[in-house]
Amino acid sequence: MGKVIVVTSGKGGVGKTTSTANLGTALALLDKTVAVVDADVGLRNLDIVMGLESRIVYTSMDVIEKQCELSKALVRDRRVDGLMLLAASQKNNKDDIQPEQMKAICDKLRTTHDFVLIDSPAGIERGFSNASAGADEAIVVTTPDVSAIRDADRIIGLLQNARIEPINLVINRFSPQLVGNGSMMDQADVLDILNIDLIGVVPEDSAVITSTNRGIPLVYEDGSPGAQAYMRIARRLTGQRIPIHSFEQKGLLNNIVNWFTRKR
């Protein structure tokens, strides 16, 4: 039985779709079978970020309306074995789907895939309830700024009420330079506020933007700091124990202190 993980955030534009695309691809590169599901009905993006937009024929709406079988609606990513995408309908809206219907789709997908990753829309309304309805676990994505962290805290509360656990945090668009000069909170600050487990830190990386332009997830070319960060998170999701990478450019003494005081 596979795991269903919702990728969510509260605030929009913090990197949910980017993270779903890259973690899905990374897990497939690690020989796992993966289904990525776009739950952003009406504002679908996962297909274009992954470069699969020209191959979408059916969506989750068609499956729900019994216009086609689930297996037929899944688009196979030909670049790697074991990766499938279920697209969201672009002409419907979030209220056209019920949480139970999403849950039914997740429960089917978990019988055939090791990982089911759900790309949640921003917000705390229906789109979020639909995306999280079938989830066992959650990945909360935040950027290290006040609005995103405040909204992440709200979402974490809702996930806890829904008994979804573990809830793992991804800090995205982290800038070692800004942290170094005191204009950005570091990972310890963010964890101190949100108080959940950190599964990875993704640096600000222009390769994210160029890879999205091309429709080729970053992790296919394992060179950029962003790609490496996503590969490490994927390995942690498979249960490998990899220490959290430190991007901070502090002195040696500080690094030693950090090592002793880090959250495990």
Partner 1 sequence: MNISIRQLFGRKPKSSSIAKQRLKLVITQDRFDVDDRVMTRLHHELAEVLAKYFEFSANSVKMDLKQEGNSYILVADFPYTKFHETNMRQ
Ligand X SMILES: Nc1ncnc2c1ncn2[C@@H]1O[C@H](COP(=O)(O)OP(=O)(O)OP(=O)(O)O)[C@@H](O)[C@H]1O
Residue ranges that bind Mg ion, judged by CB under 5 A = 16-17, 45
Q: Is 204 buried (19+), middle (13-18) or exposed (0-12) by CB count in 10 A?
A: middle
What is residue 199's three-state secondary structure? Answer: strand
CB 180 within 8 A of CB 250: yes
Terminal CA-CA length for the chain? 28
Give which of ligand X, partner 1, Mg ion, none residue 61 binds (C-beta under 5 to 8 Å, depending on kind).
Answer: none
Burial degree of 178 (CB within 10 A; 0-12, 13-18, 19+): middle
Residues that bind partner 1 (CB under 8 A): 145-146, 149-150, 153-154, 157, 179, 182-186, 189, 192-193
Contacted by 242, from partner 1, Mg ion, ligand X, none: CB < 5 to 8 Å by type: none
State which of residues 5, 10, 18, 83 lies at the interface with ligand X (CB under 6 A): 18
The minimum distance between CB 208 and ligand X, in angstroms, equals 4
Least distance (Å) between residue 67 CB and ligand X: 26
- For residue 169, what are the β-bridge partners? 140, 198
Task: Tokens for 130, please give them.
Answer: 């639909």
**What, of partner 1, Mg ion, ligand X, none, does residue 192 touch, CB below 5 to 8 Å by kind?**
partner 1
**Cβ 125 to ligand X shortest distance, Å:** 13
75 binds, among Mg ion, ligand X, partner 1, none (CB under 5 to 8 A by kind): none
